[in-house]
Amino acid sequence: MLSLLRSGDSVLDAKFDQRVENIRMAMLECLRNVLPSEELEHVRARVMYGSDVQSLWYVRSDMMSLLASTHGETVAREQMDVLSGMFKGLVPAGLHSRPAGLMRR
């Protein structure tokens, strides 16, 4: 019985790991056409060697800056929205930005 439970965990772990690797590959693909710079190499290294999903989540702001400087803010925001959606269910919901601003009373 325990071996069945453990095998289920390993399947879930493998799916989780695959999702994280898919995010990593998507991030690197977004950076492919960014103009070469020292900052690009630093961000690319953070993506390639990020140890967990949270480290990839937190590199997004630096990616946004690089993408905006190369492609403009609108295109960068569209790419970041796609990437951010890939994190759904992998990071706490509170880390995702709200779709609209806060209402003031």
The pLDDT, as a whole number, for residue 8 is 54
Q: Where are the alpha helices (DSSP H) in the chain?
A: 2-31, 38-49, 53-58, 60-71, 73-86
Question: Along the chain (105 residues), what's the average pLDDT of each consecutive run of 10 residues?
Answer: 54 87 97 95 97 94 96 96 94 64 46
The pLDDT, as a whole number, for residue 105 is 45
What SS3 state is found at 57? helix
pTM (predicted TM-score): 0.78
Cα–Cα distance for residue pair 89/79, rounded to 1 Å: 19
